[in-house]
Structure 1
């Protein structure tokens, strides 16, 4: 019989610390989300597996706090469903990696290849770097370009040096940093961590004024090179994105890997929510075109808000930014 321990965990859903309830089962932490419908899911679901869901389910039923649903998924490369629970398919975005040459010759689009060549001609230097204060100062500049990004308030805007340094230091032992420089100015960076099955991006940002130099394409190339040298078979970019974001993923070699995500009711309320299709929240039932319209409306609202505050230049920049629409379930 597995012992269940109730604890508090700190998460950063919008760049700010939030304390949430969690349970410890089999030495793994499950976060509890939702108010009316309470769902348990692995805190480190990209790095860990629910190895025996029946035991976890039994432990949740004995838990002293109410938990209605258990949610978990299989990680790549395990794409065939192993369990008979109710499941939905989530498209993980990943680059399968054998050699850098194969990726360059066979996996990326012609236009992406040209953008990488263009970046080199324009003097962009891409390199793996050590984490230090100079790098952090460059990241602070990138964070503070604008209070908005991709059609919504940017969660890192306004953070000071110490806050940024502390947040970037999370998982530092497993993290690798790749940076793009132009005339010694940091114009983009990627932070990724190496898990047991793949490398996974945790942060990827650039300076909008240097987008014409395509630093992100070059940084992806460097990550693939590092992974190939270390025999890391996949590089993941969380879930597949829709719209322009998804087109970018495809252009640099990311592929869709559908993996099963399971929803297992623990209580009667969990069964009812699953039967009514409410297990993913309200956003999941909104059609894509309606969601695009709502996000565009939100962007216009922020533009007006910035303009009223006297930030006309930021409002104009904000209005030109593309709307980012993630696949349901993407953070």
Structure 2
């Protein structure tokens, strides 16, 4: 029997749980397997289903997945959502769609990035890092590296004007949470006098590289560590012939200027939303399927972010701790 017919057969799809890290906190996610792919289901008033990690794989057959979810005799999400990945920016499907803006850096080769895609000020920052004695290299995810990560994470509780998710985590927690995806990641470390002062977890999504984590010590901010880390990430992507490097969402945040100066551009990718239940249809019709951050306009969010940054900065000063405006 064809796979599409098997997927369409009414049955109760098994539900299982997997450990995930959401906003820096461990949580158990409800999951289903359909057509050999794992889908997670969010909790809350409106339940959404989507690929476990849609940055790294495509939905192979959206129609069959939708049919399977609608005919499922067990747990049903209200809405099914999936992303159309780079380099496909033109919508391929007729489902309800919204554009999701990401930061993408097209890569030909390292020299092209260095000479054509960044300006002199950024090149000078990378040179500054080198002259300061910072060595950036691919590293092993061993115990010494994890201890360096823990030291970086626990330097300050405030980063980018908000509470830092990984502050307070111990060695075992960091090692467990950050070793889950080493099968698809390159680890890059920035060292100063043999001390880890910054690192990148660079994911390989097949069509592009993904900056899953980039962070450095605040006390060494004068050494332009993050600029040097980006340069190394570009070098690794070019060597692996990955045509893009992706750096999260293209949002109105403190990182936008840094991304732009590093050569990143806004790329708009189609994200589809398909109702599975009557509740899902109503939610999509009312346009309240995204969280409040996606609904609130920038003119409202910007002053709220400024207030949050000032609030956390004030609290940090009272406690005598450092706060960082960068990653």
For 1:159 and 1:179, the matched residues in 2 are separated by 19
Q: Is residue 109 from structure 1 mapped to residue 116 from structure 2 by the alignment?
A: no
Q: Number of residue pairs matched?
A: 317
For 2:29 and 2:267, the matched residues in 1 are separated by 31
For 1:171 and 1:284, the matched residues in 2 are separated by 28
Q: CA RMSD, aligned part only?
A: 1.8
CA 1:306 to 1:249, structure 2 compared with 1: closer, same or farther past 3 Å?
A: closer
TM-score normalised by structure 1 residue count:
0.90
Structure 1 SS opposite 2:238: helix
Matched with 2:174 is 164
Matched with 2:188 is 178
For 1:20 and 1:227, the matched residues in 2 are separated by 31
Matched with 2:235 is 225
Matched with 1:263 is 273
Matched with 1:190 is 200
How far off its partner does 1:115 sit? 0.5
For 1:163 and 1:145, the matched residues in 2 are separated by 16
- 1:220–1:252 Cα contact (<8 Å) kept: yes
Give ranges in structure 1 of 5+ residues lacking alignment: 325-331
Q: Is residue 273 from structure 1 mapped to residue 283 from structure 2 by the alignment?
A: yes
Matched with 1:79 is 89
Q: Is residue 120 from structure 1 mapped to residue 145 from structure 2 by the alignment?
A: no
Structure 1 residue aligned with 2:14, among 1, 5, 15? 5
Pairwise mapping of residues 209-224 of structure 1 onto structure 2 (< 5 A)?
209-224=219-234
- 2:209–2:245 Cα contact (<8 Å) kept: yes
How far off its partner does 1:305 sit? 4.8
- 1:5–1:25 Cα contact (<8 Å) kept: no
Structure 2 residue aligned with 1:53, among 15, 39, 62? 62
Runs of 4+ in structure 1 deviating by more than 4 angstroms, as ranges, are 303-307
TM-score normalised by structure 2 residue count:
0.91
Give ranges in structure 2 of 5+ residues lacking alignment: 1-5
Matched with 2:214 is 204
- 1:295–1:323 Cα contact (<8 Å) kept: no
For 2:298 and 2:182, the matched residues in 1 are separated by 37
Deviations 1:177-215 (A, max 9, x none): 111111222111001121221111111100011111111
CA 1:206 to 1:306, structure 2 compared with 1: closer, same or farther past 3 Å?
A: closer
Deviates more, 1:245-254 or 1:226-235: 226-235
Matched with 2:45 is 36
CA 1:215 to 1:302, structure 2 compared with 1: closer, same or farther past 3 Å?
A: closer
Deviations 1:80-129 (A, max 9, x none): 11001111111221211111111100011221111011111111111111
